Structure 1
Amino acid sequence: MTAGAGSDRTEASGPLAGLLRAADGLIALGAASHGRACALLLLLGLVCFLPGIASLQPMDRDEPRFAQASKQMLETGDFVDIRFQAEARHKKPVGIYWAQAATVAAAEALGVPDARTTIGLYRIPSLVGALAAVLLTYWAALALLPRRGAFLAAALFGACLMLSAEARLAKTDALLTACAVASFGALARSWLGRARLERRRGPATPATAAIFWGGLALGILIKGPMVPFFVGLAALVLCLREGSARWLLDLRPRLGLALILVVVAPWFLAIAWKSGGAFFGEAVGKDMLGKVGGAAEKHWGPPGAYAIAFFATFWPGAAFACLAIPFAWAKRGEDAVALLLAWIVPAWLIFEALPTKLPHYVLPLMPAVAILTVLALHRNALDPRRPGALWTAGLVVLIPVGLTLGLSAAAWRLDGALPLVALPLLVVACALAGLALAAFRRGAGEGALVLAILASLAVSPAVFGLTQPVLQSLKLAPRLAAIRDGLPCAAPRTASLGLREPSLVFTLGTDLAMLNSAEEARDFLNGGGCRLVLVEDRSADGFAPAGGGPAARPVGRVTGFNINGGKLVGVSAWAVLPDAAP
């Protein structure tokens, strides 16, 4: 390996030496050209993000809310108002719903069966967003690192667990991150170009300015003010440091603001007219300000929660990122480091201070963490001889070992089975993580990062592709849908008493009735025609068995684990079948 890029200080021998040579060859291959770098990064992303994208059940509660609202757009033909059943969903702008609806409509046009109830199709925009975020991280890193370092930084971000999770969830965050990284990459070129640090880095080009404002505009359509918040906060910090905002003129703000208006104004005006202004009251007054003033939907966490969760969400790079903190502090006066710190620190501190805590909120900051980590590595600042360095780096082993033990225990407790098909890959991931620690111990920083990334490439298919299908207890909605589809009548009217998860609505249909009492359940069953009521055990008093009416009969039962509530649940299915004997 080259000097200054995490080269070996102590010559490795045996299998580790061969792995380090292979790791160096992988980085060299990726650094050979931009085309090869992008191809390898796309391959890494597909290995990390694709397994389980179709077989993973709708994950309550946010994902099926987004998917169901997109499905209703296709059902109603109304692509302005956003609704979940009859309820207005005035929380996020329309961008993600349009992307999901367009994907499903294209699948229907191509003849994909049951496209509207296939959750994997709604996840494709998130998959595309995650892949784009990885490639854009490479592009952003090229403003601060040579091609070899930019490739490694993008791969480190692409391998992180939080991005892997968001890539297979039909939500906003993967696309939001792609928009944020695009704008940050353009901001970096404007910031570094202002000082002409290198002749090849001139002022921002028109294309760079278009990327900056395009990222902001699409980000607003996807999640309102979040991308402007991330980028604007960093730009403000840099302007205060510089004592001037003139360097931002390279980004052509007049044309940029016009572009934003052209992109976002039509829908915002349409929803303002259609909702009578209610969208803005709900989105700003209740959703956004509610998270600032209190813990929205019980997602409370103390200050420091993101820092603790970081060791899991940014695995496998988190331990090495922590080792880069002294370097970042010592070199904070350098333009490149100042840029990355402005990207990370102010927004992170604000999120730590807010009472509402959700791990994905800080995902748009993680590309900068990856770039800063590799920058520190290339300056020989990730030194294993520093006190506590090996203990910190040892945390890279904790996640794969914890997943292996935790998933095995969960599968055995909930389903009486072990994920035997996944265990070999999980063991490989543990071994690679251990070898990453050994490589770091010998001073092979680049090799350690590559081995850690390879560990993540084993973890993702093992967890999402092989272990997840074994956990049938988590798949409540699909199993209940199977009971309904097995009834000897077409399109039964269906209701739920007690279990109110959005995944039921997406899986069983928009017309699923949510009942509040046993009396309502009895009345529903006696409403004529083929009918099915799903009764959670906690709501069964006064209903089963005779309470369903003389023609009601049990047709199935499902027990499992409700992820959202964190509790074991049991659901009994009662049906009234036409022409059936009482």
Structure 2
Amino acid sequence: MADLISGQRAWWIIGALAALAALTGVFTIQPLDRDESRYVQATTQMLETGDFVEIRFQDEARNKKPVGIYWLQAVTAGLLTSDAERPVWAYRLPSVLGAIMAALGCFWAGTRFMSREAAFAAASLFAVSILLASEGGIAKTDAMLSGATTLAMAALLALRHGGGRRDALVFWVMLGLGVLVKGPVTPMVAGLAILALLVWERKPGWLRPLLFWPGPILAALIVLPWLIAVQLATDGEFLREAIGVDLAPRLTSGLETHGGMPGYHLLTLSVLSFPFIFFLVPGFRAALPGLRDTNSDQAKAIRFLLAWIIPSWIVFELMPTKLPHYPLPVYAALALIAGLGWQAFSATPLWTRLTSITLGLLGSVVLIALILAASIVYGGSPVLAGIAAAICVMAILAVIIAIMRKQGTAALMLAIFAGLSWHVQMRMVAVPLAQDLNLSERAAQTVADMTGQSGRDAVSVISSYNEPSLVFALGTETRLVAFDEMGDAVIAQSGAFVSIEDTARSGDDMATLEQIETGVCERREVPGYNYSRGEETVLIVRLHNCEQG
């Protein structure tokens, strides 16, 4: 393997793996509810209005996250698409870039303290891992946040191993980018790691290059111009709402029903870290004894990895609000430990390999069940589901056999294939074919068919199906209302228009139902599953007032 990854080839291979894994869903999966569709719709409105300071979803100020990801999405969508058609894949490309940055940052960090082969193994497994690659195919903040945070932490690790001002500048630039993308997360992860190491080692000298004055200035120049502009544009509301309305509730309660007990992220680790979970327990077994040699480069690096993981992981576990992607900024450190496990797994005790295999199998069961559910339960193809599941099962069994035979290179290649295989089967086959999960685009197509047949290219839309993906599919002017407001909205409308009724949200008010039927000249039904709410529904699409112009 040494010849394969010599020189620049390792970097290109890792970047290609990260791009390939992330891209498997970019062109095939519909805009997802709710966060992704809110991000892409807010970016669309920036392109429509030319206002790149304030962030809005329709008429609502979106004072939650900073502007970084919206700007990046605006660049790719603005350059690669037209005003008439803005497919969601164009908004997802910054996330693909974020996944590539994270994988390359992992490799850079690994080369500072482990063999090149082990660093390559860690970064390659991280590149195709479930959480990183899945987030890399979704148009929101988390893949780019992972890229910025991983590169910032790799720069810090480089400082501990003889790095200088250039590494310090990389740290400050990535810190600024992380703040511009998702506020305090990157500073939190880096700050907690630095604090933990200062308490543990009481040796601050390695941090001295961070005082090189251009670094903090660069970070400030990345963040402050927009922050000042948005504070002025919103009369100070952005920070008040971002901190008081969005961040603070996440720290004190389960925001938007996303609550969970401590231990939630540990329980999901075997699924989200697949396939590097197969080497993680041997990695910890190989790493921890090395701490005894306090002055070695590997001991310094392992202390750094533990300081990177443990304090931030505790914070994520203690936060009442739990979402699976929250710990992603520390997954690169876990992958690096898995790289150590791959390097040493033939020499580690059998129980470590068996434990990792067991965890990998648990994660695999969940991942294969997701493929089957998407393909069978939600309107996909049972035949393709069986084929997809069989391919994944065979890949996983091959990984296990290679591990038990202590075939390191084969185990690595097969694990990479298993990760890629799941992304292809799930995100290129199962989900795109699961039509029940694609209510918004099917409803939008129904609206286009109905209005086209009536001779009207565009009419206004009123909907009690309130998912953001419908706004992105139909346009900014789509009006979302509650069911009990829908009757009055229909009565007040003039000219031809479309109404969409979400039957799962409909009440039994006969007067409202009669009002909704006013002037109906065509009526179609779109059955499906609203995964945001966890309920089956039928969208009733009505064309009103066909004869009015």
Other structure's SS at 2:170 match? helix
Kindly report which structure 2 residues correspond to 1:543-558, keeping only aligned pairs within 5 A, or say none. Answer: 546-558=514-526
Q: What amino acid is aligned across from residue 515 of structure 1 in structure 2?
A: V
Rounded Cα–Cα distance in structure 2 between residues aligned with 1:525 and 1:58: 31
Residue 448 of structure 2 aligns with which residue? 485
1:59 paired with 2:25, answer: no
Change beyond 3 A, Cα 1:463–1:174: same
After TM superposition, give the deviation of residue 406 of structure 1 in Å: 4.3
Return the match for 1:565 from 533, 540, 545.
533
- Among the aligned pairs, what percent are the same residue? 33
Rounded Cα–Cα distance in structure 1 between residues aligned with 2:489 and 2:159: 66
Q: Is the 8 A contact 1:162 1:314 kept in 2?
A: yes
Q: Is the 8 A contact 2:285 2:348 kept in 1?
A: no
Rounded Cα–Cα distance in structure 2 between residues aligned with 1:368 and 1:381: 21
Larger mean Cα displacement after TM superposition, 406-415 or 568-577:
406-415
Unpaired runs of at least 5, structure 2: none
Q: What amino acid is aligned across from residue 32 of structure 1 in structure 2?
A: S
Q: Per-residue CA shift, 1:448-488, capped at 9, x if unaligned? A: 23311211121111110111221000000001101111122
Kindly report which structure 2 residues correspond to 1:91-240, keeping only aligned pairs within 5 A, or say none. Answer: 91-108=64-81, 112=82, 114-116=84-86, 118-193=87-162, 204-240=163-199
1:43 paired with 2:16, answer: yes
Q: Is the 8 A contact 2:126 2:335 kept in 1?
A: yes
Return the match for 1:344 from 309, 334, 349.
309
Larger mean Cα displacement after TM superposition, 473-482 or 320-329:
320-329
- Flag the structure with more relative contact order, 1 or 2, with Cα contacts below 8 A and sequence separation at least 6: 1
Q: Is the 8 A contact 2:22 2:137 kept in 1?
A: yes
Other structure's SS at 1:331 match? helix
Return the match for 1:270 from 229, 250, 253.
229
Q: What amino acid is aligned across from residue 383 of structure 1 in structure 2?
A: T
Change beyond 3 A, Cα 1:558–1:174: same
After TM superposition, give the deviation of residue 397 of structure 1 in Å: 3.5
Q: Per-residue CA shift, 1:96-131, capped at 9, x if unaligned? A: 0111111111013xxx57443x11111111011111
Q: Is the 8 A contact 2:486 2:516 kept in 1?
A: no
Q: Per-residue CA shift, 1:41-67, capped at 9, x if unaligned? A: 133223312123122111111111111
Return the match for 2:463 from 480, 483, 496.
496
Residue 268 of structure 2 aligns with which residue? 309
Q: What amino acid is aligned across from residue 151 of structure 1 in structure 2?
A: F
Q: Is the 8 A contact 1:526 1:549 kept in 2?
A: no
1:579 paired with 2:542, answer: no
Rounded Cα–Cα distance in structure 2 between residues aligned with 1:340 and 1:106: 39
After TM superposition, give the deviation of residue 171 of structure 1 in Å: 0.4
Other structure's SS at 1:561 match? strand
Other structure's SS at 1:558 match? strand
TM-score, length of structure 2 as denominator length:
0.93
Rounded Cα–Cα distance in structure 1 between residues aligned with 2:321 and 2:212: 33
Change beyond 3 A, Cα 1:295–1:549: closer
Q: Is the 8 A contact 1:532 1:574 kept in 2?
A: yes
1:509 paired with 2:483, answer: no
Q: Is the 8 A contact 1:400 1:459 kept in 2?
A: no
Q: Is the 8 A contact 1:30 1:151 kept in 2?
A: no
Kindly report which structure 2 residues correspond to 1:274-285, keeping only aligned pairs within 5 A, or say none. Answer: 274-285=233-244
Q: What amino acid is aligned across from residue 457 of structure 2 in structure 1?
A: A
Rounded Cα–Cα distance in structure 1 between residues aligned with 2:202 and 2:160: 13
After TM superposition, give the deviation of residue 381 of structure 1 in Å: 7.5
Rounded Cα–Cα distance in structure 1 between residues aligned with 2:399 and 2:349: 12
Other structure's SS at 1:359 match? coil
Larger mean Cα displacement after TM superposition, 237-246 or 548-557:
548-557
Change beyond 3 A, Cα 1:355–1:253: farther
Q: Is the 8 A contact 2:271 2:360 kept in 1?
A: no
Change beyond 3 A, Cα 1:336–1:288: same
Rounded Cα–Cα distance in structure 2 between residues aligned with 1:247 and 1:208: 12
Rounded Cα–Cα distance in structure 2 between residues aligned with 1:230 and 1:459: 30
Q: What amino acid is aligned across from residue 181 of structure 2 in structure 1?
A: I
Rounded Cα–Cα distance in structure 2 between residues aligned with 1:376 and 1:545: 63
After TM superposition, give the deviation of residue 550 of structure 1 in Å: 4.4
Rounded Cα–Cα distance in structure 2 between residues aligned with 1:297 and 1:336: 38
Q: Per-residue CA shift, 1:250-271, capped at 9, x if unaligned? A: 2334321111122211101111
Unpaired runs of at least 5, structure 1: 1-26, 194-203
Change beyond 3 A, Cα 1:510–1:389: same
Change beyond 3 A, Cα 1:140–1:545: same
Change beyond 3 A, Cα 1:519–1:207: closer
After TM superposition, give the deviation of residue 430 of structure 1 in Å: 1.4
Q: What amino acid is aligned across from residue 572 of structure 1 in structure 2?
A: I
Return the match for 2:433 from 470, 488, 494.
470
Residue 530 of structure 1 aligns with which residue? 496
Rounded Cα–Cα distance in structure 2 between residues aligned with 1:186 and 1:254: 16
Rounded Cα–Cα distance in structure 2 between residues aligned with 1:413 and 1:350: 36
Number of residue pairs matched by the alignment? 537
Residue 350 of structure 2 aligns with which residue? 385
After TM superposition, give the deviation of residue 139 of structure 1 in Å: 1.3
TM-score, length of structure 1 as denominator length:
0.88
Q: Is the 8 A contact 2:99 2:147 kept in 1?
A: yes
After TM superposition, give the deviation of residue 519 of structure 1 in Å: 5.5
Other structure's SS at 2:325 match? helix
Other structure's SS at 2:52 match? coil
1:83 paired with 2:56, answer: yes
Larger mean Cα displacement after TM superposition, 301-310 or 251-260:
251-260
RMSD after superposition = 2.2
Larger mean Cα displacement after TM superposition, 157-166 or 518-527:
518-527
Return the match for 1:259 from 218, 230, 233.
218
Rounded Cα–Cα distance in structure 1 between residues aligned with 2:4 and 2:119: 10
Other structure's SS at 2:527 match? strand
After TM superposition, give the deviation of residue 327 of structure 1 in Å: 3.5
